[in-house]
Structures are given as structure tokens and as C-alpha cells.
Chains A and B, each alone.
Chain A
Amino acid sequence: GQQLNQSPQSMFIQEGEDVSMNCTSSSIFNTWLWYKQEPGEGPVLLIALYKAGELTSNGRLTAQFGITRKDSFLNISASIPSDVGIYFCAGLSTLYSGGGADGLTFGKGTHLIIQP
């Protein structure tokens, strides 16, 4: 099946630092999504990317859909304590010719820890 390789697995940073994480795959995806999950909660959508090459920002977050459609990255600028959590990339591929999609394929997550 499809697999996403997400790195790094964890990051220990100081408040105020910029963060970068990425996902790569051997398969093509039509959509890339980035989610954040905190303890006891479900994944919360951060950014959705629908076109190869697309660069999208959401506040301090910026994500890009790779030109090859096999990769994506997420950057967080000027990290703050509430950025702590697990960040997941997810890819979506088209199952049906009419544009219907299969379920999301998730990376293993990047655990972001901010040191005081």
C-alpha cells in the first residue's frame, strides 16, 4: 500500500525558533493535508493543498505541495508554546474517475517539543 515517510520523528526546539518538517512518498497524491493532534483530541486540520507546486500559508504556518506530487513540507515560524503537539502529513489519492477519493494515508507524525 501507499506509505508516507515523515521526518523528523521529533523535534526539540527553543521558543521563537522556526520549524520545518516534511513528508515524502513513492506514490503520487492529489491532495496533501497537514494536521496537528494534541492529547485527548482528534487531528485538527491546519493546511490543505490541492495543486502541485501550491504554496499556502495559515498565519505562522506555511506548507507546499511538491511539484512531483510525491512530497510536501510544513514550516512553522517563530514557534510559541501552544505549537507543542504531534504534526501529521496526510495524502489523498483519487479512487474514482469522478474525483472521489480514497481514505487518507498518514505519516507517522512529528512530535514537536518546545523547551523553556
Chain B
Amino acid sequence: DSGVTQTPKHLITATGQRVTLRCSPRSGDLSVYWYQQSLDQGLQFLIQYYNGEERAKGNILERFSAQQFPDLHSELNLSSLELGDSALYFCASSVDGADNQPQHFGDGTRLSIL
């Protein structure tokens, strides 16, 4: 158990809809990362938050947004969903986001767009 909690485990919805994925980092970790895993693209970094502030952006679409709350949990919002958004979405956390800190992953949310 990595200590990173993601909910829900599975999400099935239709094109055009909006969903929210939730992540609770490990106790004591201030930095949260979101990743997307798909068969064709592999694991891709989306966005990072540190102590409530956005710190780095990767390959995140404009239809996607995230935030980190004062209690350090984070939410990833996906809107105007398309079939190609079907993927596994992982959250990871690290102590302070420095490059000498490993990232620990949750078990992911599997998003299926019908």
C-alpha cells in the first residue's frame, strides 16, 4: 500500500460529459502529480501541485484542470470528454516535489468513455 488513495476506482461515462477524479496524498506529502496511462501513449505526466499551488504542467489538455485543496487532497477535472480520454489516471505524491524525492503512486482511476 503506497498510502496514496484515489477514488473512484472505475468511472464509466459518455462523450461530452464532465468527471472529477480525487486523490489523497500520503500523509506528510505536500506535492501531488497527475498522470495519464493509455496503451498508445504510455504513462504521461499531466500536472503537478505543491502545497496548493500549480508547479509544473506536462501534456495536459485545455479541457482538463486540477486543483489542490488546503487539506492537500487534489482533484482532476476532465470535461467535454472524448472517446480518446479513456485511460487510467494516476495520482502520485512526494514529500516536497524536489528531484531527490521519489513519487509514490495510487492505484488509479480507470475512466471509460462510451
Q: Which residues of A contact B (CB under 8 A)?
A: 1, 30-31, 33, 35, 40-45, 48, 50, 88, 90, 92-95, 99-109
Which 3 A-B pairs rank lowest in CB-CB distance, beginning with the nearest?
A103-B45, A42-B105, A101-B99
Contact across chains for B107 and A41 when beta carbons are under 8 A apart = yes
Contact across chains for A103 and B105 when beta carbons are under 8 A apart = no
**A33-B42 contact given A99-B98, A100-B50, CB 8 Å threshold:** no
Contact across chains for A35 and B105 when beta carbons are under 8 A apart = yes
**A33-B105 contact given A44-B2, A106-B43, A108-B42, CB 8 Å threshold:** no
How many residue pairs link A and B with beta carbons under 8 A? The number is 79
Chain A residue at minimal CB-CB distance from B107: A42
Could you tell me the distance between the alpha carbons of A33 and B102 in the complex, rounded to whole angstroms?
Answer: 7
Chain B residue at minimal CB-CB distance from A42: B105
Contact across chains for B2 and A42 when beta carbons are under 8 A apart = yes
Please give, as numbers and ranges, the residues of chain B lying within 8 Å of A93 by CB-CB distance: 99
Contact across chains for A102 and B105 when beta carbons are under 8 A apart = no
Could you tell me the distance between the alpha carbons of A106 and B92 in the complex, rounded to whole angstroms?
Answer: 14
Pick from B4, B45, B106: contact of A104, CB below 8 A.
B45
**A109-B42 contact given A40-B107, A42-B90, A42-B105, CB 8 Å threshold:** yes
